[in-house]
């Protein structure tokens, strides 16, 4: 009987991970059957998609509450269909709010489970690792500091590396990226990434543009590249730019192209998140600026919920402050402009930073999809449970 592998990915990044994993698993199990929830890349790789990944792509508390009845019905229907199909393993890809519950339900019914992409247990409540182990027989981790945390809680976890580190060259071509985006001459370029969610854009883009306006006073040829993750984000970005009628900012909004924008830039100004990791892999100096709702911030501080000394992945992975993190009250236009200006004006500082980025890139470059597939194959080698 062919190996059956059920998967669930809930957004574009998970769809990309899932497609790479399916390709590698098929090399090891040529007759395997793949089914579950995925997007266009996973379908192209051979997934029989019972539901589309977009059905899980709900962001924000209000949106989640509005969609909660539908999501609960979908989860109930999906997990029962997986159980009826009796796969050899179920792989939940990221989307922990949805997948961990499905995994736990299936695990108690004898289905082996894997969770691919660990939640940030290094930053928020390490004790979650034990509860994640109640859902997943194995956790596939993107970062090297994660498996030791799980080991402390008796949970099997494997470092597989980060797919972005496999995708992005160790030496990205700055000139090619500039030519591709039509950046001419010796203009200084600042890539501005205020986030991929509308709430983030509305909160962070105004302060980022204020900082860029201050920078442009000292650097009149400064050009901004602002990638928009999707059309909704572009509308929000265009709306904010439309309020800037003085013409002092030379800004261009891109449809996607975030990697090219970063590689083409002289520096990057961004909100914290995966974009910081991507900027590091693109070997660009950066400044992280981020604000969350004041009440949320007070709760985080009062209860000591943030366990890491740093919030951005470059600093977390380096275990020191390689790049500035300006958070909450420190995230002001003047502070951001000063920090970005340091990278624009001090070539020696940039030259000292890049070897550190290169070392972290090499540590993360592990052929993640192949290593993840190998870990799953080792699990399946113990024999079927169905």
Handedness of CA 313, 317, 322, 325 (dihedral sign): positive
> pLDDT band at residue 64, thresholds of 50, 70 and 90?
low
Q: Enter the CATH code of domain 4-161+366-380.
A: 3.40.50.2000
pLDDT score, position 68: 78
Q: Which residue has the higher pLDDT, 319 or 185?
A: 319
pLDDT at residue 141 is higher than 50: yes
Q: Enter the CATH code of domain 174-364.
A: 3.40.50.2000
pLDDT score, position 386: 47
DSSP string covering 276-314: HHHHHHTT--EEEEE---HHHHHHHHHHT-B-SS-SSHH
| Residues 165, 124: Cα–Cα separation, whole Å | 24
CB 163 within 8 Å of CB 368: yes
Which of the residue ranges 173-177, 203-207, 280-284, 379-383 would you say has the lowest mean pLDDT? 379-383
> pLDDT band at residue 110, thresholds of 50, 70 and 90?
very high
Q: How many C-beta atoms lie closer than 10 Å to residue 149's C-beta? A: 18
| Residues 289, 326: Cα–Cα separation, whole Å | 5
Handedness of CA 313, 319, 323, 326 (dihedral sign): positive
pLDDT at residue 237 is higher than 60: yes
pLDDT at residue 125 is higher than 80: no
Provide φ and ψ at 245, rounded to 5°: -95, 0
| Residues 312, 230: Cα–Cα separation, whole Å | 23
| Residues 12, 15: Cα–Cα separation, whole Å | 5
Assigned token pair, 312 = 């951005």
**Strand 223-228 versus strand 250-255 pairing type:** parallel
Which of the residue ranges 27-41, 50-64, 212-226 would you say has the lowest mean pLDDT? 50-64
Strand order in the sheet with 250-255: 250-255, 223-228, 189-193, 267-270, 286-290, 325-327
User: How far is CA 89 from its chain centroid?
Assistant: 25
Rounded to the nearest 10 degrees, the angle between the axes of helix 347-364 and helix 333-345 is: 90
Q: Which of 56-70, 250-264, 291-305 has the highest mean pLDDT?
A: 250-264
CB 265 within 8 Å of CB 224: no
CB 8 within 8 Å of CB 103: no
| Residues 144, 160: Cα–Cα separation, whole Å | 8
Q: Is 86 left (phi over 0), alpha (psi -120 to 50) or beta?
A: left
CA distances from 61 to 193, 199, 296 (A): 23, 11, 13
Find the angle CA(199)-CA(205)-CA(210) to the nearest 5 degrees. Answer: 150
Is 0.95 topped by the overall pTM?
no
The ranges assigned to domains in the chain are: 4-161+366-380, 174-364
Q: Which residue has the higher pLDDT, 365 or 306?
A: 365
| Residues 90, 11: Cα–Cα separation, whole Å | 17
Q: pLDDT tens-digit profile of 2-52?
A: 999 999 998 878 999 999 999 999 999 999 999 999 999 999 999 999 999
- Fold match between 4-161+366-380 and 174-364? yes
What is the rounded average pLDDT for all residues in the chain? 91
Instruction: Give the DSSP H or E segment for 13.
Output: helix 12-28
Q: pLDDT tens-digit profile of 152-178?
A: 999 999 999 999 999 999 999 999 999
């Amino acid at each position: 009987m062919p190996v059956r592998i059920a998967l669930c990915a809930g957004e574009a990044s998970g769809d990309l991970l899932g497609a790479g994993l399916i390709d590698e698993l098929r090399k090891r199990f040529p007759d395997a059957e793949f089914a579950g929830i995925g997007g266009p890349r996973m379908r192209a790789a051979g997934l029989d998609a019972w539901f589309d990944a977009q059905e899980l792509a709900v962001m924000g508390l209000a949106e989640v509450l509005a969609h909660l009845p539908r999501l609960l019905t979908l989860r109930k229907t999906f997990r029962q269909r997986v159980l009826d199909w009796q796969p050899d393993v179920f792989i939940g890809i990221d989307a922990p709010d949805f997948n961990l519950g499905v995994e736990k339900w299936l695990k108690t019914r004898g289905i082996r489970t894997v969770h691919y992409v660990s939640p940030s247990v290094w930053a928020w409540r390490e004790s979650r690792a034990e509860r994640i182990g109640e859902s997943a027989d194995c956790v596939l981790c993107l970062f090297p500091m994660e498996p030791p945390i799980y080991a402390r809680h008796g949970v099997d976890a494997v470092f597989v590396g980060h797919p972005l580190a496999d995708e992005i060259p160790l030496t990205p071509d700055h000139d090619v990226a500039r030519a591709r985006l039509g950046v001419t001459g010796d203009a200084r370029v600042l890539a501005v990434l205020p986030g991929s969610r509308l709430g983030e854009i509305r909160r962070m883009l105004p302060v980022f543009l204020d900082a860029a306006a201050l920078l442009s006073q000292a650097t009149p040829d400064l050009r901004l590249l602002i990638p928009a993750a999707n059309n909704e984000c572009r509308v929000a970005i265009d709306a904010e730019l439309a309020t800037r009628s003085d013409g002092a900012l030379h800004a261009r909004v891109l449809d996607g192209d975030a990697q090219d924008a970063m590689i083409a830039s002289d520096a990057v100004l961004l909100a914290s998140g995966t974009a910081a990791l991507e900027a590091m892999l693109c070997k660009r100096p950066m400044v992280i600026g981020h604000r969350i709702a004041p009440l949320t911030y007070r709760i985080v501080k009062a209860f000591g919920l943030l366990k890491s000394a740093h919030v951005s992945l470059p600093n977390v992975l380096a275990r020191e402050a390689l790049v500035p993190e300006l958070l909450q009250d420190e995230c002001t236009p003047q502070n951001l402009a000063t920090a970005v200006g340091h990278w624009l004006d001090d070539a020696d500082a940039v030259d000292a930073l890049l070897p550190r980025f290169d070392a972290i890139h090499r540590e993360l470059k592990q052929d993640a999809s192949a290593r993840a597939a190998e870990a799953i194959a080792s699990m399946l080698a113990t024999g079927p449970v169905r």
